[in-house]
Chains A and B, each alone.
Chain A
Amino acid sequence: MDRIEGLAKLTGAERYVDDLPLDGMLWGMTVRSPAPRGRVTGVHFGSGVDWSEFVVVDHHDIPGDNTVLLIETDQPLLAGEYVRHAEEPIALVAHRSREMVRRAIREIEVTIDPDPPIFDFTAEPTQDQIQHGSDNALKRIDITKGDVDAALVRAARVVEGEYRTGSQEHVYLENQGMIAWEEDGVLVIKGSLQCPFYVLKAAVRALGRDSDHVRIVQTPTGGGFGGKEEYPSMIALHAALLALKAEQPVRIIYDRGEDMRATTKRHPSLVRHRTGVDGDGRLVAQDIDVALDGGAYVTLSPVVLSRGVIHAAGPYACDNVRIRGRAMLTNSPPHGAFRGFGAPQTHFANERHMDVIAATIGIDPDEFRRRNLIVDGQTTATGQRITDGTDRVALLDHALELSSYHERQDKHRSLNASHPYLRRGIGLAAFHHGAGFTGSGEVMLASELHLAGLPDGRIEVLSANIEMGQGTLTVFTKLVCDRLGLRPEHVVIADADTGRVPDSGPTVASRTTMVVGRLVDDSDTGDRVTQAIIDWHVERDEPLVGHAKYEPPPGIEWDETTYTGDAYATYGWATYVAEVEVDLRTYTARVTDFVAVQDVGTVLHETLARGQIQGGVVQAIGWALTEECAWSNGVMQNNQLTNYIIPTSDDVPPIRVSFVENPFAHGPHGAKGLGELPMDGPAPAIANAVARAIDADPRAIPLTPEHLMDLLSNGR
């Protein structure tokens, strides 16, 4: 089966939010804070503009609470008195002409009486920089297993390391955008988003309306990667405020510069490891400290931190683990959800550290991992016993074989010894990623799914899980077809419209396929055939709808307070191998070959699955080598695609993908999620390869040429 909406996309017929015509529509734009922190002392409207032509909204126009409800309520919808980051929304302006709004916005001056900002999340805040709790920690999470201190004392060797990652911009190709209008007393908000019910809940709170009077509808979404998880609520409510005041439809479409400057990015991280190994090269203690830069408000930092710490010790068996995590407030725009949710950061640290330990104790990196990878029956850092039957060592060996890991090392040695300026190296990373939501999250979200039999005999799937490129529509259709023996044309997937679909939980963390897909599988519509559906409608005048609610797999136990137990129902496991070439004339590292081997359970759709892995790997190659946000006073300076460097087709090699299929009993047809894995492994594999190629010890990404030059000129 080909991608369901693929032809519409390939012929330009698909309509994204900016493609929707609306009569009498206004363009909305946002007035933003010029300073990173301080009291708003004035919003001055220039005299050169006839303001009566414009609709202007500020925090006084908010009917409900001035907050973008998410986990906490600390983030205002429009800052009234105080701003905590540059580019924070303060007011909104709309007009029929987009150019007129652009001109008007320039005539508005916001004045701020500044307070001292903090930008370094690793620094101790001074008293006057404290803005959250007693120490600016937005969230702390600790994990403890065994007795780390005692084990470190006993260890044959203790190896320490400190690792850093930078912020990363999502660069979904479709910029953020929303339209809003009122229709028969119902406020309709449509746009590019990942989580319709997040927007709905935020709308109910800020607009003071009940959920029957707000409808959130997802338009085809041109990429999200987490970037359209929380921020769309902000834009949606802005469009709504303008539309309500104007009594006309309003559209807000960010341009690339505004999108990059104002919306979320991946959390920068600093991870410290102190690891004890015994004389046989086995891990006896992992002491890990994880710090994330949360930005100015809580937003999703607690969740990102949670996943970061859960994955911080890697796919290894160790009896004594201590992980201390914190997300710190800074006066940068809030960092947010991004593919992998904190795990890419902690995996980078851990997998780079594994090579550092291996080098210190004189074992090959692959052998060191082989000795420590979890085997069935052993437990993770949270004490979760792994019994899934996956042979993680065999998976690693498979990756080494596919990449000719050992043969290439020999070749590289001779090239590196003779070539005037080219150096090659190969590196690996072994890692895992939990599938679905953490611990009890799934139960709390109480995912629900409906299947309806339509009068014409087709099946309609009603779910809040959205398509943003990852193939949800196709996978759902395929699952229903396979299960019910139908052809694709017999299945329709309803638009994600909160007015129609049940809350299936947000589309994040590749849980869509695993959890929601499982609901499709279990749905009580059973194996009715088209005729039975038609008969139903002929015989009676009532809708035919099947409900399904997510049931967690049996035996899952998770303690949210101690962070112990079964953090996830299951895990995807992977080993990635990167080959790089470094040009010492320009200090440029380039990936010349990439092998991605993973166990994601059953592969539901080969082309879609491979595409997810390849796309994620290339996004991670960018994070590892070229993507760097240049910050100044809390504002991204390189907010243009010409200066924020994502890979082009000419910068990356073909990504070689291999799936090891070990079915998961509780996923649809045995599937686990796979969307995050490709973000976790490439950066450490690449850094390890660079370390080999130039005999250096990189501890931070991105490894831009400028950073590589510094690394080489500062000795190691």
Chain B
Amino acid sequence: MPTTLAEALEIQRDEDATPMAGGTDLLVHWPEQLELHDRDYLDLWGIDELRRIEWSDDTLELGALTTYWDVITDAKIGAAFPLLVDAARQIGAVQIQSRGTWAGNIANGSPAADGVPVLMAYGASVVIASHDKHRQVPLERFYAGYKEMDLAPDELIVAIRIPNRTYRHERFIKVGSRRAQAIAKVGAALVSNGSGWRVVASSVAPTIRRCPTIEAQISDGEPLSSPDDLLPAIRADVSPIDDLRSTAAYRERVMSRVLYYAIEEMSHR
């Protein structure tokens, strides 16, 4: 049970242990996850230095144990990065927000995560450490494929660094099957600084990703006249599937509609 990051990184070097943060992904259906019971875990929860939230002139840095609730109740973050609060409030419910961490959301690698799209839209980087080095990876380059990511077994995510920029438009969209306690069927985060858009899509591809074709179309292209105008770009950028929660057809169609109306509303403001 490490209490400092240095200890934790040594354990990561020496042992094959799974990091445990809030446990809100790892412990789901725990009694039946028999194969997980005998594994070793590296409990991060006691490492207070990973709880720090730090502002500098040009960045906000969230320590790896920053929870959704920490962000929801932080007025300064809410003012500077409203999408973080929007997303956090739509994750699970209070009992999940109080425990679930942003870093856990990133490391879990779910294509339906809600924390990742807003971080990616804000251009966040993942700060990664091992016992002998630190490195930083832009979140948009962190995922290689479904649950595949740029994180070695001896490494930990220690922080998330978000450039402190101002945006003219910003919007988080989550389409779930109910208003709380729902996993996204379609998700998107959009920001614009006035000259161009960053668009991130979730639940419509093996990983959460930027959508360069959509970005190009809405930044420089013709004004949109209907949601259908976005379909070719959506098809170029993402590849939704049928699963238990929804259908590929629904995901594609609804993505076009939520994006269209969001852009409409923002550009009329």
Which residues on A are within 8 Å of B, measured CB to CB? 98-99, 102-103, 106, 255, 257, 420-421, 584-588, 626, 630, 637-638, 640, 642-643, 645, 647-651, 704-706, 709
Contact = CB atoms under 8 A, between A and B. Distances in A.
B164 to A, nearest CB: 31
B254 A587 contact: yes
B261 A647 contact: no
Contacts of A709: 249-250, 253-254
Contact of B29 (A98, A257, A584, A649): A257
A709 B245 CA distance: 15
8 contacts: A98-B31, A103-B34, A586-B254, A588-B175, A650-B179, A650-B180, A704-B177, A709-B253
Nearest to B265: A420
B34 A651 contact: no
A645 B32 contact: no
B255 to A, nearest CB: 10
A584 B182 CA distance: 19
B182 A645 contact: yes
A126 B261 CA distance: 50
Contacts of A638: 244
A420 B264 contact: yes
B258 A645 contact: no
Contacts of A255: 31-32
B178 A648 contact: yes
Q: Is the interface of A mostly helix, strand, loop or mixed?
A: loop
B75 interface: no
A651 B178 contact: yes
A706 B257 contact: no
A421 B261 contact: yes
A648 B261 contact: no
Interface in B71-127: 93
B217 interface: no
A626 B177 contact: yes
Interface residues of B, number: 28
A640 B183 CA distance: 13
B91 to A, nearest CB: 13
B239 interface: no
A66 B88 CA distance: 54
B75 to A, nearest CB: 23
B246 interface: yes
B39 interface: no
B144 to A, nearest CB: 27
A709 B258 CA distance: 14
B32 A584 contact: no
Contact of A642 (B181, B254, B257): B181
Given A420-B264, A648-B180, A648-B181, A586 B244 contact: no
B202 to A, nearest CB: 15
A584 B244 contact: no
B179 A648 contact: yes
Contacts of B183: 642
Given A585-B254, A586-B258, A643 B31 contact: no
Contacts of B32: 102, 255, 257
B269 interface: no
A709 B186 CA distance: 14
B264 A586 contact: no
A587 B185 CA distance: 12
Contacts of A704: 177
Given A99-B37, A643-B244, A705-B250, A585 B178 contact: no
Given A102-B34, A650-B180, 16 more contacts: A420-B264, A585-B254, A585-B257, A586-B175, A586-B254, A630-B244, A640-B29, A643-B245, A645-B178, A648-B93, A648-B179, A648-B180, A649-B180, A651-B178, A705-B254, A706-B247
Closest CB pairs A-B (n = 3): A650-B179, A585-B257, A645-B177
A37 to B, nearest CB: 24
A706 B93 CA distance: 24
Interface in B26-78: 29, 31-32, 34, 37
